[in-house]
Amino acid sequence: MNAQSADPVDIAIVGAGAAGLAAALALGREGRSVALIGPVATPRDGRTVALFDGSWRMLCGLGLEEALSDKAAPLCVMRLVDDSGSLFRQPPVEFRASEIGLAAFGWNVENADLTAILAEKAAALPGLTMIPGFVRAIEPEADGVRLTGDGFAPLKARLVAGADGRNSKVRAAAAIESRDWRYPQVALTAIFAHRRDHGDTSTEFHTRQGPCTLVPLPGRRSSLVWLTDPAEAETIVALDDAAFARRVEDQVQSLLGAMTVSGARGRVPMGGLSVERFGAGRMALIGEAAHIFPPIGAQGLNLGLRDVADLRDALEGAADPGGESVIAAYDRARRVDVRLRTGAVDMLNRTLLTDLVPADLLRGAGLLALSRIGPLRRFVMRQGVGDHTR
Ligand SMILES: Cc1cc2nc3c(=O)[nH]c(=O)nc-3n(C[C@H](O)[C@H](O)[C@H](O)COP(=O)(O)OP(=O)(O)OC[C@H]3O[C@@H](n4cnc5c(N)ncnc54)[C@H](O)[C@@H]3O)c2cc1C
């Protein structure tokens, strides 16, 4: 396929983040011509993604297992610690992957490593053209969508997958309404080396400002995602690495012994976004173009990979990849999953941010139920890991 040619491509994916790259790999294998448009960026800012079992198996199915295994650590135990000071505070709750017959709930990998591995695989896929340009204009037409931008000749696609993140141009071109909101929180990210073994355990401390989570990486290293209020975040960001490490060690109750910062640190203002539909007029939205919420329970990219799996399923056997039946099937498939998870994460976050007694009671009762009721625990654990390997 030549992206400079006048022939339309079957599918153009806009945005080469993790969701767009995974979509290019998954959809480019099905014998269709696929163009992936967007620069690949792999900045290191202390961010990692915990990929649950369903996502991991999907990526392994795309041939990434060997490359990813070297860079990822398994998550065998997930521990929740109520550090909110609430009246209804519960003892820590632990979930073990072995309770649902898995070796691990998933694997944690640096964003930059995941993106680089996906991009390397995509570059070698026949039938997939990678265009490192930026899309400037998107014009829907009856038989396709015309894309123009920097660094490439205009091209037409029968289906456009919008993987272009929060300010998605594809979403705007498809006239899909979205709602976005902010939380009074900033996520601080960093990678640490530490003295004690993490034991393949991820620990989430639920504080009044939001969760503070340590997630294992290979060796005696872990990543930090700490949601806190913006004023405190500013003070913490100003600390040098040594003072920052001591502050974090304090915050996590010296769980992993002495800690040292390894590499760059990051900060991300917290917000959410939801869309009124997942596709319209030969365009489908995937990843953060379609849903954003705070990193609680590590759902974001896992949901993005389920978007990819559902789009692949909706395309199966379709004569016209951008036809109305494909868009309608995709929209139906994504509605419940995305809305349920956006709602659940939002509710948990808000029960932490308020000190209202009913909210504390609800959260305390939830944790108690999770620690005591075996079938509920196993149900929640299975929901968490997802399955999109079909
Ligand atoms: C602190 C933090 C921790 C997280 N932890 C987890 C976790 O443990 N597990 C998990 O599953 N998720 C996690 N997430 C969520 C996860 O990181 C995101 O869901 C994921 O990175 C989003 O990927 P994306 O490809 O959809 O969007 P992006 O990474 O935003 O990619 C969008 C891409 O589109 C490109 N683009 C935009 N406009 C155009 C254009 N006009 N033309 C061409 N290209 C364009 C951009 O340059 C960018 O490369 C976390 C998020 C945060 C903030």
The pTM assigned to this predicted structure is 0.91
The answer to whether the CB of 287 is under 6 A from ligand 1 is yes
Which residue, judged by its Cα, is nearest atom 51 of ligand 1?
A: 295
Question: What would the pLDDT profile of 217-266 be if each residue is shown by its tens digit?
Answer: 999 999 999 999 999 999 999 999 999 999 999 999 999 999 999 999 99
Mean pLDDT over residues 339-354, rounded?
Answer: 75
Q: Which atom of ligand 1 is nearest to the CA of 149?
A: 42
The answer to whether the CB of 380 is under 6 A from ligand 1 is no
Which among 130, 134, 226, 301 is the best mutation to test ligand 1's pocket, defined by most ligand atoms within 8 Å of the CB? Answer: 301
Region of 88 on the Ramachandran plot (φ > 0 left; ψ -120 to 50 alpha; else beta): alpha
Q: How far apart are CA 63 and CA 118, in angstroms?
A: 10
Q: How far apart are CA 105 and CA 178, in angstroms?
A: 32
What's the Rg (C-alpha) of the chain?
A: 21
The answer to whether the CB of 279 is under 6 A from ligand 1 is no
Length of the chain: 390
Domains of the chain by residue range: 9-49+112-180+271-352
92 within 8 A of 202, measured Cβ to Cβ: no
Backbone angles phi, psi at 178, to 5 degrees: -135, 160
pLDDT for res 209 = 81
**pLDDT above 90: residue 385:** no
Which residue, judged by its Cα, is nearest atom 20 of ligand 1?
A: 301
Provide the CATH number for the domain formed by 9-49+112-180+271-352 in this structure: 3.50.50.60
Of all residues in the chain, the percent with pLDDT exceeding 90 is: 71
pLDDT for res 387 = 57
DSSP result, 156-188:
EEEEEEE---TT-HHHHHTT--EEEEEEEEEEE
Which among 37, 164, 215, 227 is the best mutation to test ligand 1's pocket, defined by most ligand atoms within 8 Å of the CB? Answer: 164
